[in-house]
Amino acid sequence: MKVLHLGPLWFPVSRDAAGGRETWLAGLISALEKLGCRNTLLAAGDSQTPAELVPVVARNLVDLMKDGLAGEALYYQEHQLTLALARAAEFDVIHSHLSPGVFSLSAVPTIGRRVLHTQHTPVWQDFEWLIRQQPDLWLNTVSQFQAQKLRAAGARRCFVVHNGIDVASFKFQSRGTGLAFLGRIESGKGPDIAVTIARQLNLPLTLAGPVIDNELFTQKIRPYLGEQIRYVGVVNHAQKNELLGKAGCALLPFRGAEGFGLVSIEAMACGTPVVALANGALPEVVETGMTGYLTTREEELAALVLPAMKLDRAQIRHRVMARFDLSVVAQNYLKLYEQITEPV
């Protein structure tokens, strides 16, 4: 099986990427290679992958934009689309991990039947509208939560393959203390809720992630920073391991409807239980009373933290290994690729 992957250009595709999608894709390709699948990746030139790498742009767009060498991502994605069309005939499947801007690949007569689009982000009403116009796109979502919306809009070829991680790359910690929050510092991710809960329970809290909403950070995070509550910025893979593994509980009070919730399984891979709001796909990921606790009410989160800290951390890691390890995810994708390439 030969697969052409269209990766995001914002960050390099690598295990240590700042973006969750880029980190996930790097691991997926490695797992697919172990299954005998041959992969080619169209992505930023500073990506790290065992696949054949075809650079769309020399460096990732975030760095180029910081240096004033790029300003609008769509032009670079257009070039990526051109490269995909030029090489499409070489592959059994073209697997896009991008935005709706490349859905037009499915309209190309010679390759459209072999294009798979993975929906990593929330399903908005505009996407539902598009599906009503093009119900035969080959799609996969990373949760049943997403798939139900698309199927209700009329999608006829919509499959679910949950996200996954390389569990072995996360160090198991048999004990942990305090609270950890990992996510973008913006209202939708709820870092301010995490701060409130830490103060209410008088527990130490470490927050990590890029500051997206400066006003939120200035007004609701910074005033409480000190010995009890720390902000450590953006973390790499090793730092993420330490942050999540040493925590007694990962507090992820995401207000938004998470398409999956990758941080939750990263925490659980370290043995750390999760307490979160039961929004989006989180009920598919966190098993209540086994790997963490969920609630629909913000005011109930604090009461769940101490019960979560008493859960069996070895069992938490075992559940993640069985359900979300990339070896399992890669096998599910390979089955889907085989279904796509079956003769009509």
Sign of CA dihedral 14, 87, 157, 148: positive
Strands across the sheet containing 229-231: 229-231, 205-208, 179-182, 249-252, 274-277, 292-295
Phi-psi region of 36 (alpha: psi -120 to 50; beta: other; left: phi over 0): left
Beta-carbon contacts of 218 under 8 Å, excluding residues fewer than 6 positions away, are: none
Buried b (16+ CB within 10 A) or exposed e, 208-220: bbebebeebbeeb
The DSSP output letter for 52 is E
Rounded-to-integer distance, Cα 160 and Cα 269, Å: 21
Q: Which of 182, 176, 181 is nearest to 313 (CA)?
A: 176
| pLDDT string in tens for the chain (344-residue length) | 999 999 999 999 998 777 778 988 999 999 999 999 999 999 999 999 999 999 999 999 999 999 999 999 999 999 999 999 999 999 999 999 997 778 999 999 989 999 999 998 888 899 999 999 999 999 999 999 999 999 999 999 999 999 999 999 999 999 999 999 999 999 999 999 999 999 999 999 999 999 999 999 999 999 999 999 999 999 988 999 999 999 999 999 999 888 888 899 999 999 999 999 999 999 999 999 999 999 999 999 999 999 999 999 999 999 999 999 999 999 999 999 999 999 87
Q: Which of 154, 138, 132 is nearest to 102 (CA)?
A: 138
DSSP string, 157-171: SEEE----B-GGGS-
Rounded-to-integer distance, Cα 20 and Cα 100, Å: 18
Rounded-to-integer distance, Cα 30 and Cα 35, Å: 9
Q: What tokens does 124 get?
A: 């908005």
Site of tokens 């790029």: 70
Enumerate domains of the chain plus CATH numbers: 2-165+325-340 (3.40.50.2000), 167-323 (3.40.50.2000)
Output the pLDDT for position 127. 93
Strands across the sheet containing 158-160: 52-57, 38-44, 2-6, 93-96, 115-119, 138-141, 158-160
Count of helices and strands (H, E) across the chain: 13, 13
Output the pLDDT for position 111. 92
Q: What tokens does 200 get?
A: 């209410």
The DSSP output letter for 101 is G
Rounded-to-integer distance, Cα 98 and Cα 29, Å: 16
Cβ 159 vs Cβ 140: under 8 Å: yes
- For residue 168, the one-letter residue type is A
The DSSP output letter for 121 is S
Task: State pTM to two decimals.
Answer: 0.85
Q: Which helix (H) or strand (E) holds 274?
A: strand 274-277
Beta-carbon contacts of 236 under 8 Å, excluding residues fewer than 6 positions away, are: 16
Cβ 300 vs Cβ 5: under 8 Å: no
CA max distance for the chain: 63
